[in-house]
Structure 1
C-alpha cells in the first residue's frame, strides 16, 4: 500500500467485494494502518448474478460483526439489463457508484477506498489504447480523485497482484474467488486473462512499459491544454454576454488534439461534463475547414455551436421567439427583441405610421444609385448570422417602403433620424 493520503481525523469507507484484492486492503486497514484514520465503514454490493453471492454477503457480514465494523449491503437487480443484451459490467459499475455516492453523503464520510491494483492499471491503459479512448483524457486510473463531497482513493494502485497474493498467504486473509473473472466473454477479462499474460511471456515485450506510456501521455495532454488555453487567450473573443467567437482560420491551423481541447474548454462554460464524441468533433473539423459560409454544427438544450462566415460561434441555447410586429405613430425609443430603436419626430412629418417587423418574402431596399436589392442579399453581404436574420428589425412605411434594416441599412433620407442598436442576445434572458 502507498503512504496513506487521508487524514487521521477522516471517516474512510472501503468498497469490499470479498475478492482477494479488497479483503487484503481491508486487512491492512485493520492492522498496520489502523491508526491512520478515525472511523472505518464497509460497503458491499450484492450483484445477484451468481449463486455464491449470498455466501459472500453472509461471510462479509460475519467478518465485520466480529471486528465491530459497520457494514452496508446493497442488492442490485441486473436481470433486465442482461435480458436486453446490454453490458452488465458497465451498467453494474454505474449503479455501484450511484449507490456509493449516496452512501458517502448519508455517512458524511471523507474518503472511499477501492482495491484497484497495478494489474487493473495496466488493463485500463491497454483497454483505452485499443478502443481509441486516448485523445480526451488520461490513459490510466488516478490514485486519488475528487467526487464532489468526498475523495475516491485507490491505495493499491502501484501494488502488483503478486504482492497482494504474497500478503494474503503470509497473513491467511480469507477471500472468495469470483468465477466470472475467468470468463473471457468480457473485453477487460480477455485483456487481463489472455492478452497481457501473452505479452509477459514474450521475453522481448514488457507490459510495464504501458506505465511509462501513461506518463508520457499525461504530459502530452498537459501541453495540449496549455496550447489550447494560450489560443483562447489570444484569439477567442467573448461578445454579447456568454457568446464566444472563435476565428476559423487560426483554429484550422491547430492540431486536432488542441482543437478538441479548445472546444472542451469552451463548452465547459455551459455544462460540467462535455459529452461530444471525438468522431463528432472530427466531423466538425471537416466542415470548419471547408468553404461553407454558415452551418449548424450542433444545438443542444444548453448550447449552440454554429459556423458563421469566418467565425465559429458558441452561444447559450435560446428560445426561438420571433418579435411581434409593432405599429408606431410617434417619435420615441422602442424595443424590438434584442434591438433598441430610436425614431426622431422628423420621420413622422412624412409618414403617419411606421411598421417595425421582421423580414418578409420579397423585401427590397433602394440603393443610393436608385437600384434595388433584396433584403436577404443585403444580410448575406453584411454577414448576418442565419439565426439573427429572423430577429433583425425592419422599419417600413404603410406602403411597404423600407427605411431601415437593423444595423445594415438606412435609407439616405432618414439616416440621421433612425438609430438602431443591437443590445445582445443576453437581453432576452432577462
Structure 2
C-alpha cells in the first residue's frame, strides 16, 4: 500500500520535502494508518509532523479513550500531538444543524486554527477510495447538480496551505490489511455500523453489489471524480468571465441585474453556472431549501412571453422579469424605499438618500441639459422647490401630450422594475407641479418669462458643493 500511496501523491503533486504536515487523527483505522504512513516517510522526506485530534463530545468516555489512545501512540512514535474538544450538541442545537454537519463545522474550525498557528503546509485526512464511492453515490441520491456530484477532491486550498487526501487511491480493505501488517490496533466507533445513516447503508448494502459487478469500481469512480472536477473547474472559470461581462452587481443593495438576450446567447451550461454564481453572490449562505426546482423555474422565467413576472426565492430573495431585463434583489425598508422629502433653497444643496447631492443655483446663461441637469425660468415656478419620493396619483406634463401623464404609466413605459419605483425621486415646486423625475424624465418646460434668470438643478457627487458646481 505504501508504494501505491506514494505513487498517488506524486501523480497529484501533494507532497514536498521539508514540509509541515498536520494529520487529522481520530483513532480509527483510516487515520491511524495515515499517521503511520507519514511516520514511515518522515525522515526520507524531511517532514515535520503534527497529529491533531478533536473530541466532539458525542460518545462520552469512549471519545476520551480515543484521544488517550492517539496521544499514547504519538508519544511512542515521537510525533507532536495536539488535542481539542468541541461541544457538538450545543452547536447543533443553537444553529439547527444535523449532528454530522455540526461536528464537521467545529472540527474544521480547529483544523484551520492550528494550520495557521503551526504554519502548516498540508492538512492530511484519511478519506479513502470507499469514502469516494460512498460520497458520490450519496450526492447522486440527493442532488441534481453536476458540481455537487463530483466527489471528494484530492486536494484543495486550506488556510495557508493545502488540505490533502493521500488515501483516495486505496481501498478500506487495503488500509485494514496495512494496520494488521504494521501491528496497529485502532479504535472503532460502533455508530459506523448503524445503517440508519445513509452513508453506512450505502457502505453495507450498495457498494458490495457494485463490487460484484465491477471489481474495479473504486478506480472507476476516482477517475470519474477527477474528470468531473477538472471539467467543472474549466466551466466555472468560463462562467465567471461570462458573469463579469453580462451581470451588473450592486454591493450596497445586494442586487444583480442583467439583460435577458445576451444572457441567453451563451451556452446553457454557462447560463446554469452563472445562475448559481448570482445566488452565491446574493446569499451570505445558500439556504438549504434551494434545489434544482428553483433552477428550473428561473429558466422558465427567462423563456416566458409575459412582460412582467416575479419569483419568490428562499429568504425573501426576489427575481423579477421586467420586459427584457432580470432584477434579483432583497426588498429593503431603508429611507429611500419608504419616503423622502426635503426643501431646497437657491443657492443650496441637499444630500439624497443614495449618497448623491442635489444642487440648485441661479444662472443667466444655462448650459445644455443632460440627464443629470434640469433648467427652467425662475419666474415660471413657485418656490421653494421640493425633492421627494412618489405618491399615489402623481402626474407629469410631458412635451407633445395634452394634459398630464400618470407617473405609474411612465414607469411602465420605461420598464422600471417595481422595486425601483418607490425609490424614484421627484422635483416639484411649492404648488406640487412635478418638474423632474430625476434621471428619468423632465416635465414640459414652461416658456421663459422675460428678464427672468434661470434656475439650474443638478445631481452631482456628494463631495461637490453648489459653489463648486456654480463655478
Task: Give the TM bin, normalised by the shorter chain.
Answer: 0.7 to 0.9
Are residues 328 and 44 of structure 1, via their aligned partners in 2, closer, same or farther at CA, if it must alter by over 3 Å?
closer
Distance in structure 2 (CA, Å) of the matches to 1:320 and 1:240: 15
CA shift for structure 1 position 21: 1.4
Equivalent position of 1:364 in the other structure:
395
Distance in structure 2 (CA, Å) of the matches to 1:238 and 1:46: 43
Equivalent position of 1:413 in the other structure:
445
Equivalent position of 2:410 in the other structure:
378
Distance in structure 2 (CA, Å) of the matches to 1:58 and 1:308: 64
Are residues 247 and 147 of structure 1, via their aligned partners in 2, closer, same or farther at CA, if it must alter by over 3 Å?
same
Equivalent position of 2:386 in the other structure:
355
> Which stretch shifts more, 182-191 or 288-297?
288-297
Q: 2:310 aligns with which of 292, 295, 301?
A: 295
Equivalent position of 1:89 in the other structure:
100
Pair 1:70 & 2:80 matched: yes
Distance in structure 2 (CA, Å) of the matches to 1:237 and 1:52: 54
CA shift for structure 1 position 187: 0.7
CA offsets per residue over residues 215-245 of structure 1, 9 Å max, x none? 4433542454355346436544578999754
CA shift for structure 1 position 116: 0.9
Pair 1:46 & 2:55 matched: yes
Q: 1:19 aligns with which of 14, 23, 28?
A: 28
Pair 1:202 & 2:233 matched: no
Are residues 296 and 159 of structure 1, via their aligned partners in 2, closer, same or farther at CA, if it must alter by over 3 Å?
same
Are residues 16 and 215 of structure 1, via their aligned partners in 2, closer, same or farther at CA, if it must alter by over 3 Å?
closer
SS in 1 for 2:396: strand
Runs (5+) with no aligned partner, structure 1: none
Q: 1:9 aligns with which of 18, 36, 46?
A: 18
Equivalent position of 2:368 in the other structure:
none
TM-score normalised by L of structure 2: 0.76
The 8 Å contact of residues 287 and 315 in structure 2, kept in 1 or not, is answered as no
TM-score normalised by L of structure 1: 0.82
CA shift for structure 1 position 113: 0.9
- What is the number of equivalent residue pairs in this alignment? 425
Equivalent position of 2:156 in the other structure:
145
Q: 1:282 aligns with which of 266, 273, 296?
A: 296
Runs (5+) with no aligned partner, structure 2: 364-375, 449-453, 465-471
The 8 Å contact of residues 378 and 408 in structure 1, kept in 2 or not, is answered as no
Q: Compare the two structures and name the one with the higher helix fraction.
A: 2
Matches within 5 A, 1:298-309: 306-309=320-323
> Which stretch shifts more, 161-170 or 21-30?
161-170
Distance in structure 2 (CA, Å) of the matches to 1:355 and 1:60: 75
The 8 Å contact of residues 42 and 48 in structure 2, kept in 1 or not, is answered as no
Matches within 5 A, 1:128-207: 128-132=139-143, 134-137=145-148, 139-202=150-213, 206=217
CA offsets per residue over residues 305-363 of structure 1, 9 Å max, x none? 65443222457997722374233453666654456465655522233403222222221
> Which stretch shifts more, 87-96 or 229-238?
229-238
The 8 Å contact of residues 169 and 222 in structure 2, kept in 1 or not, is answered as no
Equivalent position of 2:258 in the other structure:
246
The 8 Å contact of residues 248 and 311 in structure 1, kept in 2 or not, is answered as yes
The 8 Å contact of residues 199 and 206 in structure 1, kept in 2 or not, is answered as yes
SS in 2 for 1:108: coil
Are residues 184 and 421 of structure 1, via their aligned partners in 2, closer, same or farther at CA, if it must alter by over 3 Å?
farther
